[in-house]
Amino acid sequence: MKLVLATHNEGKVRELRELLAGTGYDVVSLAEYPHVPEVIEDGDTFLANAVKKARQVAAAVGEIALADDSGLEVDYLNGAPGVHSARFAGTGHDDAANNQKLLKLLQGVPPEKRTARFRCVVAVATPDGRVETADGKCEGLIIDEPRGENGFGYDPLFWVSEYGKTFAELDGTTKNSISHRGRALQKVQSILTKLVHN
């Protein structure tokens, strides 16, 4: 059975494919459905945006769709960039500019005040509009210069004390084992079973 990833973010596609490898589903990306219109992410929460993306894509392609809405919450910035993580620095999606803006806003802020977390809400929807969700988070610190080449987005700035490395310095398997996305996906098999057999 097909499972369509309702995302245009290549970094997410890569990680979701790895995390869904054992489910037995034929995981396909939106690249196979060029006619699907872009979903406007106007929700105030990760949950609202994830549900909207999953429902719209499932209806458009006529298959089960899985969406991921995620982002970084920095305590010193009162939870920003949060749902605005993808376009923090402006209108376009530019990871380098986003990281630069974050570093600038945290300039001179001491390490103990640089606490942050990634959050992820995953929504899985059927073409007839049924939806199930799961969430996950991962705590860390924002360091003051980028480190590492792996991953995407804010990974080079996100320090995981447990490993003494940034997400961008961890290999994909290790990141997936502790990340917000990995934790949300731990619940995906039971969600799929529920949606497909009900």
Per CB under 6 A, residues contacting ligand ITT are: 7-9, 12, 41, 68-72, 85-86, 93, 98, 118, 151-155, 167, 179, 181
Minimum distance from residue 84 beta carbon to ligand ITT (Å): 8
The residue among 108 and 171 lying less far from ligand ITT, judged by its C-beta, is 171
**Quick one: which of 145, 184, 167, 150 has its CA closest to 67?**
184
The residue among 86 and 197 lying less far from ligand ITT, judged by its C-beta, is 86
Minimum distance from residue 198 beta carbon to ligand ITT (Å): 26
* Bridging pattern class, strands 2-5 and 26-29: parallel
Residue of minimal Cβ distance to ligand ITT: 153
The residue among 97 and 195 lying less far from ligand ITT, judged by its C-beta, is 97
- CB within 8 Å of 188: residues ≥ 6 apart: 19, 20, 23, 66, 122, 124, 134
Is residue 68 within 8 A of residue 12, CB to CB? The reply is yes
Minimum distance from residue 68 beta carbon to ligand ITT (Å): 6
Instruction: Enter the tokens of residue 175.
Output: 């990141």
